[in-house]
Amino acid sequence: MSDQIGDDEIEQLETARSVTPSLIGNVLIGELDSWHVGICEVRKDGNDLLVCGESGQVVERIDTDVWTTSTLFENSEVKDLAKIADRTNSAIASEFGNL
């Protein structure tokens, strides 16, 4: 038996740490109070998402109003959940990288 982690296991660890656009939507609309990803917690604070580290400190504040996309209706915008999820995942990866 080897103590080394295989490529499949690394991919599973990375996937377990990723936040999906639908998860971001659930946190933003209040379906979920927060979401834990390893040592990080993602939670809503007004229109922002907070990515908090192991000791509860804010690692990054993500302004969700910045990430919008146009819709079919005039003068309406919706949040681009994929971009918010990417930004959230980057903050989480950065926190894991600092360990």
pTM of the predicted model as reported, rounded to 2 decimal places: 0.73
Segment of 16-20, 51-55, 74-78, 93-97 carrying the highest mean pLDDT = 51-55
- pLDDT at 98 > cutoff 80: no
C-alpha distances in angstroms, 35 versus 2, 44, 55, 79, 99? 33, 10, 15, 19, 20
Q: Which amino acid is at 92?
A: I
Confidence grade of residue 17 (pLDDT, cut at 50, 70, 90): low
pLDDT given at position 71: 65
Indicate the average pLDDT of the chain. Answer: 79
- Rounded to a whole number, what is the distance in angstroms from the first to the last CA of the chain? 27
Q: Where are the domains of the chain?
A: 20-97
Q: Helices in 18-80 by DSSP H: which ranges? A: 21-28
pLDDT band at 38 (very low <50, low <70, confident <90, very high): confident
